[in-house]
Amino acid sequence: MARDVNPDIGRRSVLKSVGAFGALLGLGGVTSATPGREPGPKKNEILIGTSSDTVSTSEATVQSKLPSDAEIVHRNEKLGYVAVEFPERASIQSKKNFKQNVLQEDDIEYAEDNVTFEALAVPNDPGFDQQYAPQQVNAPEAWETTFGDSDVTISIVDQGVQYDHENLQANMDGSVSNGGYDFVDNDGDPYPASQNENHGTHVAGIAAGATDNGTGHAGISNCSLLSARALGDGGGGSLSDIADAIQWSADQGADIINMSLGGGGYTETMASACEYAYNQGSLLVAAAGNDYGSSVSYPAAYDTVVAVSSLDEGETLSNFSNYGPEIELAAPGGDVLSSIPWDDYDSFDGTSMASPVVAGVAGLTLSAHSNLSNDELRQHLQETAVDIGLSEDKQGYGRVDAGQAVNTDPGEGGGDDPGNGDCGDETNTETASGELSGGWWGNPSDTYNYRLTTTNPCSATVTLDGPSDADFDLYLTLDGRTPTTSDYDEGSYEAGSNEEVTVDLSGDEELGILVNQYNGSGSYELTIEELGK
């Protein structure tokens, strides 16, 4: 189902307001411009809406309210408004006074600034008109601010990337030979082994295929790309190769690590690799899986990773997409156009396509707000996501939105949060205490069960404080079953007896808690802080 990229397709132009204006009016039937009136933005004009049958009837009312240095310069009978022009030297207060005075008249409906609208950035890539993913996540609005900074790096842990592809070469990270490393063959050339090895090149092109370069399709960002080849020609890869690729990406300073891969279940090695990269400052993004509604696969299901579900063009959940409480964001993943070997293009389906959309948006966001940590970047993407009416286990915080993420100052929100409020608006704290006795014959443990109490639970932090000369471990389950050291959902087992685990909540979980003595003994205190919206 390859799509031919036609360079002759016309461009669409979308408008946005740069003033405080609620909606774009239909422009059919607009009268021609008043003779002698300057074209373009008219920042010194105020539009007066009238309620009379004819505009001319209300003109006298408007005229009577005009300051001596203002005049009516334009009228539109069909839409029922007149434009009043003030001189450039007019103060803001004088315009405000005029609007207040004229609104006191019965035949005047509104008075508002003649705000400026401008064309959104429309890239010159010939395939852009055949794409929907950048438009769905509002990338053109973000591109008005930034196409992406080459100092922001996105690592693609996947099959090999055709790093000399006509639409990728310009964005490959030049600080690394051949743009990456091959963990499958253990060499410095992460090139695809054959035409069939197309997944990595497609994923890379979604996140950061060169945009506005007059070639091929438009990627979400123009950030730099690293290729960490961890999957072979057949599409599979070993746990060790993937874990090594994640660690290497973090050590290379990757700001964002995309993992359009899954399967194998929970493993300590992968969990450790993701935790390492997150602690190094990387934002990890992964595909939820394509098992038609099954639970979210690993690595997406780890707390350190942003799990992404897939949407179709109509913003419905793709029928192949996995979902569950771990879903954090949703993005287009059905029929997404991108690059493939060799200098070609095609449309693929999968949560593998949705994940790099989020990675690309994260790259744009970090380009605009370069001082964000990975924690802050993750939160900002959540806060600026758009609620598209799906349940939280299918959309998480909502559909990722590049325009809002780039153009909203961090901390100001801007999205439609399906949870109705910030996490932490409602809290509940419980404590428990106990004592474990040492002994060579085994490791004593205590178990607890915690039911959620806040109205709309969004996270919980479990903290264990024990004696300084002991080594205690903490394990959690999210379905209420009693944890063991080999059967648990989350755990903390660092050296010492001070442990902490934070988990995201959707409201359906029940925490099972295991305090386990690994070495030493003594009394401990357990604290559970639950946050709701």
DSSP string, 284-343: EEEE---SSS-PPPTTTTSTTEEEEEEE-TTSSBPTT---STTEEEEEE-SSEEEEETTT
- Min mean pLDDT across 150-164, 213-227, 311-325, 441-455 is at 441-455
Best CA proximity match to 500, nearest among 469, 467, 475: 475
* Domains 15-21+34-118 and 426-532 are alike in CATH topology: no
For residue 498, give every residue at least 6 positions away whose Cβ sits within 8 Å of its Cβ, in sequence order, or none. Answer: 464, 465, 466
Average pLDDT for residues 350-374, to the nearest whole number?
96
Summarize pLDDT for 442-483 with one digit per residue, the tens.
678 999 988 888 878 888 999 999 988 888 999 999 988 999
Strands (E), 7-128: 15-17, 45-50, 71-76, 81-85, 108-113, 117-119
On whether the CB atoms of residues 366 and 255 are closer than 8 A, the answer is: yes
Residue 128 has pLDDT above 80, yes or no: yes
Neighbours of 24 (CB within 10 A): 11
State in words which class domain 426-532 has: mainly beta
Name the residue with higher pLDDT: 388 or 39: 388
DSSP state of 269: H
Report d(CA 237, CA 39) in Å as an integer: 60
Q: What is the pLDDT of residue 421?
A: 53
Q: What is the pLDDT of residue 12?
A: 22
Residue 41 has pLDDT above 80, yes or no: no
For residue 467, give every residue at least 6 positions away whose Cβ sits within 8 Å of its Cβ, in sequence order, or none. Answer: 497, 520, 521, 522, 523, 524
Summarize pLDDT for 517-531 with one digit per residue, the tens.
888 888 999 999 998
User: How does DSSP assign 366-386, residue by residue?
Assistant: HHHSTT--HHHHHHHHHHT-B
Residue 29 has pLDDT above 70, yes or no: no
β-strand partners of 464: 499, 526
CATH 3.30.70, domain 15-21+34-118, yes or no: yes
Name the residue with higher pLDDT: 213 or 38: 213
Summarize pLDDT for 306-343 with one digit per residue, the tens.
999 999 999 999 999 999 999 999 999 999 999 999 99
Q: What is the pLDDT of residue 67?
A: 86
Name the residue with higher pLDDT: 361 or 112: 361
Neighbours of 422 (CB within 10 A): 13
Residue 501 has pLDDT above 50, yes or no: yes
- Catalytic (active-site) positions: 158, 199, 352
Average pLDDT for residues 225-238, to the nearest whole number?
92
Q: What percent of the chain has pLDDT over 70?
A: 87
Between helix 351-368 and helix 199-208 the angle, nearest 10°, is 30
Q: Where are the domains of the chain?
A: 15-21+34-118, 128-407, 426-532
Kindly give the pairing relationship between strand 305-311 and strand 283-287.
Answer: parallel
Name the residue with higher pLDDT: 372 or 421: 372
Q: Is the dihedral of CA 484, 487, 492, 493 positive or negative?
A: positive
Residue 362 has pLDDT above 60, yes or no: yes
Average pLDDT for residues 230-252, to the nearest whole number?
92
Neighbours of 391 (CB within 10 A): 12
State in words which class domain 128-407 has: alpha beta
Chain length of the chain: 533
Q: What is the pLDDT of residue 47?
A: 87
- Min mean pLDDT across 232-236, 300-304, 380-384 is at 232-236
Report d(CA 234, CA 194) in Å as an integer: 10
**Model pTM score:** 0.62
Average pLDDT for residues 19-41, to the nearest whole number?
40
Surface-to-core class of residue 183, CB atoms within 10 Å of its CB (0-12 exposed, 13-18 middle, 19+ buried):
buried
Residue 9 has pLDDT above 50, yes or no: no
User: How does DSSP assign 147-168, residue by residue?
Assistant: S--TTSEEEEEES---TT-TTT
Q: What is the pLDDT of residue 276?
A: 94
User: What's the mean per-residue pLDDT of the chain?
Assistant: 85
